[in-house]
Chain A
Amino acid sequence: MNNKNDDFNEKLKMMAGSSDFLIFEKRSNFSHPFTICYFKPLVDPTILHEKIMPLLNVNADQSLDVLFAMLPITEKKLTSEWKSVEEGLLKGYAAIRFRAEGNQTLIVDVGKKEGRNVQAPEIEFSVIGPKEAFVESITANLNLLRKRLPVPEMKTKEMTVGNLSKSKIAVCYMEGITNEAYVNTVIQRIEGIDFDFVLDSSMLSEMIEDSKKSIFPQLLDTERPDRVAAALGLGQFAVFMDGSPHALIGPVNFALFLVAYEDYYLPWHMASFFRLLRFFAVSFSIIASSLYVAATSYHYEVVSTSLLSTLISSRADIPFPPIIEALVMELTIDLLREAGARLPSKIAQTIGTVGGIVIGTAAIEAALTSNVLLVIVALSALASFTTPNFRMSTTIRILRYPFLLGAEWLGLLGIFIVFAFLLVHLLRLKSIGAPYLVPVYPLRLSDLNDSLIRLPYSSFPRRPSFLRTRHSSRKSVEIDEE
């Protein structure tokens, strides 16, 4: 017993090797000496001094049990295991020990809650609809979610990953709706992670995705609590991570990445129009410049004579082959974008517009690029920004390079070959075991009402069938199962 006590003290001493660890012993005036220790940067001194110290000073003669009951703080624990003490200390708890009670330690949360307040979403901004976004604190995020799903069926399962970062992770799902197979898979994959730092949900997402080689995101990240709540309701699961303002949703399919959540707040006609627009924008942005390269280097026949003369005149003085011209322009756009992302936002805007215009005009005047191509590249860059999901939009920007190379290699045929490879890749891709191209393949007609178009809510009597939900009816009245 005594031995062990020494052991405990030893360990505390070891921690005190770090100069921000405080061990405060009070023994002179009292018959019941006690120790209190904590990491200075992690605790909130106000709580410590206003709530705990007065109580301790008065009741030091009581046992820890009594003290435990009296402390006006919810996060507290009475333990004699060093491991949980250590964990607590590292999270901003204070450990209180009475010499008389040996290893018995009361740990109590006096952590400083540093962090942002809930703000409006920046990436998935919407004009209509709620304007709350997740923050870095998982408690705050779960709070935002619970407020939208006040039912006991919503379950969370908490875990910790990262050998050093010890990040807290919560997997949320709806019991009785979500297919457990998906939840079990994701939990298994998270438990299987063996890495020192997992700092953000995007890192986590890369670690638990089905295909790590693919450039397509296979889990949807979102900062909108309403989107997560709706996803849970449909039978998807969500993964939260402490320290990350984005939740991951899965399983997902390709069409979901082109959904801006505002689509559900707009009238369905407009929502459908914008979704189709986005789909065409994405296709255009991927192949526009490669079509230009194919047409100018191989397929002059396909272009009508009148357009052809415009094309030829615009290219007449340009010394480069079309592929170099296009690659340089595409890289320039990516460069502007990257510069914009790295610079403080106020300067970035200037770089974006002025840089774009100046470089564009100068490039044409110096006969480095044709004005037709400039228009195409600018339009396709614009089109790529319509993708609501940031990770998908970067994927789409990268995708145009293989298409450009394909166009250079075999013109239209090369584009088609690259397209076919892309298609097969997408067909093989899975998100937590669910096919990526659903509802187009495997064809699920009933899911098409909320894919590239959004039909009115009255046409959604069931949850998407690709999620294989336990309970498919979305209404309180049962509808017949097929």
Chain B
Amino acid sequence: MAGKIGEKSLLSPFMAFFAAHCMQLGIGHLTFQSDVAKLVGQDSWIVVCLTGIMFHLVIWMMYRVLNKAQNDIISINQAFFGRWAGNVLNLFFLGYFLLFGGTTLRTFIYVVQVWLFPDVQTWILSLILLLLACYAVFGGLRTVIGVCLFSLIHYVLLPLHLELVPYLHFNNLLPAMDHSTSEMIRATQKMTFSFLGLEILMIYYPWFKQPQKSERWVHLANAATTLFYLIEIAASLTFFSKDQLVRVQWPTLALFQFFRLPYIERFEFIVVTFNLLRAVPILCLCLWSASRIAKTITRIRPSRTVPFFAALLAIFAILLPDYSAINQVHQWGNLMGNGLVYGYIPLMFVLSMIAKKVKPA
């Protein structure tokens, strides 16, 4: 393990809630309704619940592994698979988080380009957002999680959904369970994309005081995400007819068109900008964990790696020209995430059950 973490920089366990919750509410949140409704229509809300429950299970397994080792996944990998193979796995994690950050960055910029400024250059927005992220990451983990906390500001717009009630067709939720199991499983796979991000806790684990206590906060974060998605999916399903929902590219944003205050309308433009605050913490968390992995493997100082990774993300974002390319990357991300959550974590769980005691690498 690369250096013991100083007592002073340890965080209280409840901050795990913000890290996990913000990481989950990423790009998936903007589009998941149409993706899932395409497959299972009115049963989408069941899929949301199912995926939420799956993730509670994943968290439970994750924490069994982590609690036993009392360390982060980087060291666990090294301990289980040896220094060499373990580091290859760690590099995979590094790549995964960079991909996560990169797609998030590009997608949010794309949303801005569609809704607000069609002619804004990708590089200029990526540059400024990454500068911001670096500034926060250099402030330390405490600052990063602070950004997460403040990004929850977007919840102030949630009560606006009440305005939708006259438009809602609750009949759209019926008949329930009208789809086959295989359809549901495929939809759950799709839905997984919107729940991804919790894995980051495997890196952050040793940074909490009494880390095993952070488990319930992560569960709570996942429950909050599930609840939020449920509200969103219920609103979208009852607000749009199925074929309409499938055609809408960003249902979450589209919903916000229907609110009006006496002098302000078209809330979706405000929501697009609020989304920026949602992208920044994800960028920070990803950059931070990437640099942490790099530090553990190679002992290069984060002050060097963070700008380097930020530059990588910027190049990645600039190289994705249009929505089909972005969508392609989403699919890779989804594949990697599915493998991670449903393959890797259960595997580690079983391994750690078998292993008597994890030897420090």
- Do A and B touch (CB < 8 Å)? yes
Interface residues in chain A, defined as those with a beta carbon under 8 Å from any beta carbon in chain B: 298-299, 301-304, 307, 410-413, 415-417, 420-421, 423-425, 427-428, 435, 437, 440-443
Residues on A with beta carbons closer than 8 Å to the beta carbon of B265: 301-304
Instruction: Given A302-B269, A302-B270, check contact A423 B263 (CB 8 Å).
Output: no
- 9 extra interface residue pairs, beta carbon distance < 8 Å, beyond A420-B277, A424-B136, A428-B139: A302-B269, A303-B265, A413-B116, A420-B132, A420-B276, A420-B280, A423-B150, A437-B146, A440-B149
CB-based contact B135/A416 at 8 Å: no
CB-based contact B260/A417 at 8 Å: no
Instruction: Indicate if B179 sits at the interface (CB-CB under 8 A).
Output: no
CB-based contact A443/B269 at 8 Å: no
Residues on A with beta carbons closer than 8 Å to the beta carbon of B139: 424, 427-428
Instruction: Given A424-B136, A427-B143, check contact A303 B277 (CB 8 Å).
Output: no
CB-based contact B128/A417 at 8 Å: yes
Residues on B with beta carbons closer than 8 Å to the beta carbon of A423: 147, 150
CB-based contact A413/B146 at 8 Å: no
CB distance from A160 to the nearest CB of B (A): 32
Instruction: Given A302-B266, A304-B264, A412-B270, check contact A427 B136 (CB 8 Å).
Output: yes
CB distance from B173 to the nearest CB of A (A): 32
Instruction: Indicate if B297 sits at the interface (CB-CB under 8 A).
Output: no
Total A-B residue contacts, Cβ distance less than 8 Å? 84
CB distance from A169 to the nearest CB of B (A): 29
Instruction: Indicate if B12 sits at the interface (CB-CB under 8 A).
Output: yes
CB distance from B125 to the nearest CB of A (A): 8
* C-alpha spacing A474/B261, complex, angstroms: 46
Instruction: Indicate if B218 sits at the interface (CB-CB under 8 A).
Output: no
Residues on B with beta carbons closer than 8 Å to the beta carbon of A421: 132, 135
CB distance from A465 to the nearest CB of B (A): 12
CB-based contact B116/A411 at 8 Å: yes
Instruction: Given A416-B276, A421-B132, A427-B136, check contact A304 B150 (CB 8 Å).
Output: no
Can you show 23 pairs from A to B with CB atoms below 8 A apart?
A299-B269, A303-B265, A304-B260, A304-B261, A304-B264, A307-B263, A412-B116, A413-B112, A413-B272, A415-B273, A417-B276, A420-B132, A420-B277, A421-B132, A421-B135, A423-B147, A424-B135, A427-B136, A427-B139, A427-B147, A428-B136, A441-B146, A441-B150
Interface residues in chain B, defined as those with a beta carbon under 8 Å from any beta carbon in chain A: 12, 14-15, 112, 116-117, 120, 128-129, 132, 135-136, 139, 142-143, 146-147, 149-150, 260-267, 269-270, 272-274, 276-277, 280
Residues on B with beta carbons closer than 8 Å to the beta carbon of A417: 128-129, 132, 276
Residues on A with beta carbons closer than 8 Å to the beta carbon of B117: 298, 410-411, 413
* C-alpha spacing A303/B269, complex, angstroms: 11
Kindly name the residue among B14, B261, B280 whose own CB sees the greatest number of chain A CB atoms within 10 A.
Answer: B280
CB-based contact A427/B146 at 8 Å: yes
Instruction: Given A412-B269, A417-B128, check contact A303 B120 (CB 8 Å).
Output: no
4 nearest A-B pairs in the assembled complex, by CB-CB distance: A428-B139, A427-B146, A424-B136, A416-B273
Kindly name the residue among B128, B146, B269, B274 whose own CB sees the greatest number of chain A CB atoms within 10 A.
Answer: B146
Q: CB < 8 Å: which of B129, B136, B149, B263 contacts A441?
A: B149
CB distance from B20 to the nearest CB of A (A): 16
Residues on B with beta carbons closer than 8 Å to the beta carbon of A415: 273
* C-alpha spacing A339/B276, complex, angstroms: 40
Residues on B with beta carbons closer than 8 Å to the beta carbon of A428: 135-136, 139, 143
CB distance from B132 to the nearest CB of A (A): 6
Q: CB < 8 Å: which of A298, A410, A416, A424 contacts B143?
A: A424
Q: CB < 8 Å: which of A301, A303, A411, A442 contacts B12?
A: A442
CB distance from A279 to the nearest CB of B (A): 15
CB-based contact A412/B263 at 8 Å: no
Residues on B with beta carbons closer than 8 Å to the beta carbon of A298: 116-117
* C-alpha spacing A28/B142, complex, angstroms: 78
Residues on B with beta carbons closer than 8 Å to the beta carbon of A420: 132, 147, 276-277, 280
Nearest opposing residue in chain A for B144, CB measure: A427
CB distance from A184 to the nearest CB of B (A): 16
Instruction: Given A410-B117, A410-B120, A413-B112, check contact A303 B146 (CB 8 Å).
Output: no
Residues on B with beta carbons closer than 8 Å to the beta carbon of A441: 146, 149-150
Residues on B with beta carbons closer than 8 Å to the beta carbon of A416: 273-274, 276-277
